[in-house]
Each structure stands twice: as structure tokens, then as C-alpha cells.
Structure 1
Amino acid sequence: MTDRAWLALSRIPGLGPLRQRALLERFGAVDRCFQTGAGALQNLGLQTGQIAALQKAPEDILTPADQRWLESPDTDLCRWTDADYPPLLRHIPDPPLLLYLRGQRAGLNQAMLAIVGSRSATTTGIATAEAFAKNLGEAGLTICSGLALGIDAAAHRGALHSGTVAVLGTGADLIYPRSHLQLARQITEQGLIISEQPPDTGPRSGLFPRRNRIISGLSLGVLVVEAADGSGSLITARLALEQGREVFAIPGSIHSPLSRGPHRLIRDGAKLVESAEDVLSELGPLYAVLRSSQAAAPAADWRPEDSTQAKVWAAMDFDPLAPEQIASRCGLTLTELSAILLDMELQGYLAACPGGRFCRLPPVS
């Protein structure tokens, strides 16, 4: 019943990731969130309708589109509690608790770079995006974008052979725009289509900015090729900065309106990019860590060389601990600890567990 419960939870109107996580932390498992007494849901900030929905069985909430998703051999789900939930995405302020997948699930944990830009791109901009995506893909990065017209589509096309990830603002069973249906099919052959929206969710303007936080959240950085003032690509770049990711921009003609976005980003501190090597050199050690960490659990005799990581490692168990417990044992603030936990998780030494907790991974025998 678990998958049905996950889908049902995503169907409750207005129940966003933060309250979904609060429910999981309260009840420990998604199945237990349903058919509970109303009293157990107090103090979670839920609306009356949401509490009423949680009194039902998951089967009473699911739609025909949900049933088709569950029965299809070509669809998949990535849950917050799954070991392969993308570690970078897990650390944004409001990560989705459920991802709907079509294509190659292994794409979830590749080192990604987002390439975004204008829907009304120039011929030069499209050629530039495609060339950068091809070169960066061949260097080992998976290219992430939003399957929109213009720069997004060019980025996906450039990375079709190396693998690309398309994050949708619609349900993963609907392709928007429809003109990209064939491109979407090609993406699933080597890459992955992702959405946080339930099946049969059509295009609505408010969903695309939310989609953008996932594009940046999955990625080590965001490269903006062409963007006018007010472009959604600038929203993605801003979100990347808030999430602690790198932002890159390709400059253009001072006479082109589509250069204004990249030029503003460069003035505000984004890295000016002229070649794929500029991106790779800036990503530096984190890129190398992610590439090597498709790994494996640590060797039995592993000990962190960094003294602070060693302190965190010594404070942890193979049973999950909350960050507050780890911080208390180590004498660190939660802010200090968060960056350390992310780094150790990326190296494959720790695993994120349900309820926002962490545990050691068992050593390889």
C-alpha cells in the first residue's frame, strides 16, 4: 500500500513539502499518516479539509490517472525515504517528498549542471547551448533543464547521448509543450524525466517557478545562456544562489535584449563563461567528489582526515540520529553541521534517513 499512500499524500490540496515532512516525522511512515484520529493531527498547521482527507484510506483519494501511473511498467517513484533520493536536492529548503520518474532512474544521482535560458532564443543562443551541453556531457556532467522551448530544448538535444534530465512543471505523464513529445521520448532512452506534480497535472503558470527550484536543487550549478529581463531563467539563477550553487552566464551582444539577463548576473557576481572548461574548473572539488561517489560505502578502515568530519563520524551511529543530536554531541551549530553532513553524504559515508535523520553507512567487508 505504500506507493498508494505516497500518491494520496501528494493529492491533498495545499499540503506542501514542509507539512508532508511534518506528517512523516509525526507518524514515522507514510501509511500511518492516513485514517488517523483528528486529534493526532493537531499542531501541524493543517486546514480542516486536509485533516478530513487524512481520515480517508489512500484508495479513496487516488484518481484514475494515479491508478494508470501505478500500473504502468514505464513509470517509477522516488520517495523521500529512498536511498537514491538525490542528496543535493535533499538539502534545499523545501525539497519535494515524492518525485515522479520516467526513464533511467540511475540519472537521479549523476553530477548535474543546469543549462537554462530564453524560450525565444536566437539561432546563436541555441547553437551555443547545444554545444555547451554536448561538451559538458562528454566531460561527465549530466545536463538538467526544463524541456521548454528555446535554450532548454537545445541543452537537452546537445546532451541526448551523454544523458540529460528534464524537470517538468506538469505531471510526468504530460509533455508540455506538445511539440517536444519526440524529444521527451529521446530523453527517456538515456536520461530521465522528473516531476513533483501528480499525474494528469496540466500546465499552470504558478507551477513553473516551483519547478525551477528542483532544476537548480538537483544541480551543482546553473548556466544561463540567453535571458531577457524578467526571464524565468533568472529565477532559476536566484534560487541556485540561495541554495549555495554556482551560477554561470555567457555574455552576448550589448545590443541584444537577451544579453541583459546574463550581463546582470555577471555584474552581480556570476562567473563569466566562454568555454566548457571555464565551468569545469569552477566546479572543482565538488564535481570530482560527486563523480567518484557514485560509489560505494566506505572501506572498513575509513577515517576522515578532516578533524571536524572525524568528530562528526565519531558522534554518529549506524542507527539514525537527528541533526540536533549530532550537533549536540559534536559541539557544532546546525548551520555548521549541515554543510558537513552534505559533504559526507556526497562522499558516500553517511545516508539520509526518514524524518531528516542521518546514519553511518556500513563498511564494505
Structure 2
Amino acid sequence: MVLSDRQRLDWLRLIRSESVGPRTFRSLMNRYGGAAAALDALPDLARQAGRTIRICPQSEAEREIAALDRLGGRLLALGEGAYPPALQAIDTAPPLIAVLGRSDVLLRPCVAIVGSRNASAAGLKVTARLARDLGEAGFVVVSGLARGIDTAAHEASLGTGTVAVLAGGLDEVYPPQNIPLLQRLMAEGAAISEMPLGLAPRGRDFPRRNRLVSGLSLGTVVVEAARKSGSLITARFANEQGRIVFAVPGSPLDPRAEGGNHLIREGATLCAEAAHVVEALAPLVGREDALLRPPHAMRDGAGETPSQPLWDELDLPGIEPAPLARWPEPAAAAPDAGTGAEDGQAIRRRVLALLGAAPVSLDDLVRASGCSARDVSRTVLDLELGGAIRRHPGGALSRAED
């Protein structure tokens, strides 16, 4: 699929509206069939949830698109052929990503290399060797353009392709010392961001970026990391996304090795050379099941948890993401026929009766109810807005506590 200019503008307005994150975006698209209809419905939905939110004006979205065009970038939409397939598979995939450089590298198999900003000389040497050898093996190296390990990974893979994921807008490079590096990597690589142009990165934006670093990649290699570090947040995201986590072991006397050694203890794959990564990932390249949880994933909960939620999203969870083939919306979508009042109340009672304190998936709820997925999804949304049910990580549902 390819979005029209009008649809791309509406998508940008929707994701830039207040309290709309990736999950809310997909919930709204599932319910209303398109971004334009979702924008029309959003103010009333917010009022039902007891909130008033700011809708991104059309003029603001038009200025962002024009500014990105002047910068030489483009917006890729979830479901378009140029959108990175690995990133598309995660449940918090950004609806739109801004790209500078060669977008074709995003379609090649990627490996993330992350680690300490205050890296040791040995850590920098190991990183450079890993990145160079992985590039020569056909992998694109992904990292976050930070000082230390990230910088070494990008520099060693300039000739084979590297992707820098920015926490702020593409015109707000952090740290600024790496602006020359970013310019150099454009020749064979790319930079991406989900954030608006002009937005300088804030503390909470770095965990958001970290999920994209791991989401782009079949595997994530942690070279050096303290026990409380952003690199372990990236490892946690990778594990939750079903990707393979690798860790380079280090001396127990070096605090920078504590995080990697901990990950190995929790089930991460030990990595002493690029061959260990290639051996594990080569069978996954080009396979549809390559993005599923590997058979020897780390224990759930391994890694570091972000200190706060990634988004302050409008409370519209609980709807299973639609198959990407249903997007974009039809040019003139017909209004929903809806469910009759009597039938709607019956489905509502059935859904509530099936839910208890133990979370269940939407698929299980649909099967148990005997109703259509569409009717159950609509009912779940209404119950969520009314506070009758709650959503858990991974999309599971339960009755709200009285």
C-alpha cells in the first residue's frame, strides 16, 4: 500500500494529537477505518473519558511535512512497502517515521549494538570489531548515535550501512558532537525518528528511541552496560519484542560489565565475536517467523524497566491491531452500521460475564463469546472508556476492580 498525500497528512495530524500514541492510533484506526474519521471522533471520545485534548491542526502538520521535505527527508507509513518490516512487527510500531538518507537499508536485516556512553578502551575495540564483521556479513548495524559504544558501532559500519535512531527530531541531533558522524553515515545508511522536527530530546524520549533500536533489529548486542542503564532498557524491549538478546561478557571487577553479565545469567546469548551473532540470526533472515519469540529467550522481566510510561495515551486500549492490509482507509469510507441497542447490550453483558480478575487476550474473549471480532472490539472500547474493564501489558483484558 501507499498512502495518498491527504491520508499521510491525516495520519500525521492524528499521531501528533495530544495523548495519541502508537496503540491509541491503531485502536482509533480499527474502530473508525481511517485517520480522517478518527480525527472527527477524537474530541467526543476524549470528553467521554473526562478529558480535553489538543488535536494537531492541519497547518501544523503541513509545515512539518514541508520542513522535512526541505531537509531532504520523507515520511514512511506503517504498512507501506518501504517501512522496515522488523519494526512493523512490534506492537508499538510508530505509524509514521521520518527518514533521512538511504531508506533502502531499512529493508535489510539489522542488528543493534548498544552500550555504555562511558565505554572502556576494550569495549570500544570489541564494538568496532563486531560492527565491522557484522557489516561484512550482510547486516546493517543499528544504534542510537550516543557517545561511547553507539558511536564506535556507527563508525565501524559506515561502509556497509548503519542506521542511527534519534530521540528527538531529525534536526535536533544529540549529542551535537555527532552531527559530523550523522552526515557521514548518510552515504550508505540512514537516520530515523518518530518525533516532530524541532523537538529536542527529553529524558522520556530516550526509552522511546530504545524500543525502535531493538524493534528495527533481529537481535540486540549489549557490549558494556551498568546494572541501571538505557542499554538494559533496550535489551528488555528486545526480549519483549521476541528478538534475540546478546551480551558481551566482561570482568566482574568492572561496573560497566555488570549489566551484560547479568543479561547472560538471565538467558541472553553470550557473544564474544560476530560469528556468534551471525550463527544465531542467519536462519531467521528472510523468514516470516523470524520476528517471533526465539525458543531460548531471556526470562521475562530481564533487563531494565523504563522509569515512567512511554506515552500519556488516551485510554482507548483493548482493540486488537488490524491487519495492515486494511490500511489505508478507503477514499470514502461508509459510516459504521453499528450494532442494535438490544444486541449491543447483550454483547456487553456477555463480555463482562466472561471477564474476571485474570487477564485474557482479546482473541480468547472473541472465541469464548461467540460474537464477531468487530462487535467484541467495539464493546471492549466502550467498556474501557466507561472504566468497567482494564487492559494489561500485551493487550490482555480483565474486569476492573470494584
* Range of TM-score over shorter length: 0.7 to 0.9
Alignment of 1:1-365 (within 5 A): 1-35=6-40, 38-39=43-44, 41=45, 47-50=51-54, 53=55, 58-59=58-59, 61-62=60-61, 64-69=63-68, 71-72=69-70, 74-287=72-285, 289=287
- Residue type matched to 2:192 in 1? I
Runs of 5+ unmatched residues, structure 2: 1-5, 291-322, 328-361, 368-372, 374-402
Distance 1:280 1:206 in 2: 32
Structure 1 residues 38 and 182 mapped into 2: Cα distance closer, same or farther (>3 Å)? Answer: closer
Structure 1 residue 226 displacement after superposition: 0.7
User: Are the counterparts in 2 of residues 101 and 192 from structure 1 also a CA contact under 8 Å?
Assistant: yes
Contact 2:111 2:220 (8 Å CA) reproduced: yes
Q: CA deviation at 1:272?
A: 1.1
Q: Note if contact 1:160-1:186 (Cα within 8 Å) is conserved in structure 2.
A: yes
Q: Do the aligned partners of residues 142 and 80 (structure 1) sit closer, same or farther apart at CA in structure 2, a change above 3 Å counting? A: same
- Report the 3-state secondary structure (helix = DSSP H, G, I; strand = E; otherwise coil) of the residue aligned with 2:61: coil
Deviation of the 1:207 alpha carbon: 0.4
RMSD in angstroms over aligned alpha carbons? 3.1
Shift of residue 73 of structure 1? 5.9
**SS, match of residue 146 in structure 2:** coil
1:37, 1:120 → 2: CA distance? Answer: 45
Q: 1:34 to 1:320 in 2, by over 3 A?
A: closer
Describe the shift of the 1:152–1:29 C-alpha distance in structure 2 as closer, same or farther (beyond 3 A). Answer: same
CA contact (8 A) 1:130 1:158 kept: yes
Counterparts in 2 of 1:3 and 1:123: CA distance versus 1, 3 Å: same
Task: Tell me the amino acid that sits aligned with residue 48 of structure 1.
Answer: T
Deviation by residue 1:19-75 (Cα, 9 ceiling, x = unmatched): 111222233233443345855x4799583224xx27xx522x438555412x42611
1:204 Cα shift?
Answer: 0.4
What TM-score does the superposition give when structure 1 sets the normalisation length? 0.74
The structure with higher relative contact order (CA 8 Å, sep 6+) is 2
Contact residue 167 and residue 211 of structure 1 kept, 8 A: yes
Do the aligned partners of 1:17 and 1:97 also contact (CA within 8 Å) in 2?
A: yes
Q: Distance in 2 between matches of 1:37 and 1:13?
A: 10
3-state SS of paired residue (1:101): strand
Per-residue CA shift, 1:210-253, capped at 9, x if unaligned?
A: 11111111111110111111011011111111111111111122
Deviation per residue, 1:127-149 (Å, 9 max, x gap): 11111001000100000000000
Task: Name the CA distance, whole Å, in 2 between partners of 1:248 and 1:37.
Answer: 42
Percent identity of equivalent pairs: 39
Normalised TM-score (structure 2):
0.67
Deviation by residue 1:307-348 (Cα, 9 ceiling, x = unmatched): xxxxxxxxxx9x859x97xx98xxxxx9xxxxxxxxxxxxxx
Contact 1:169 1:197 survives alignment (8 Å): yes
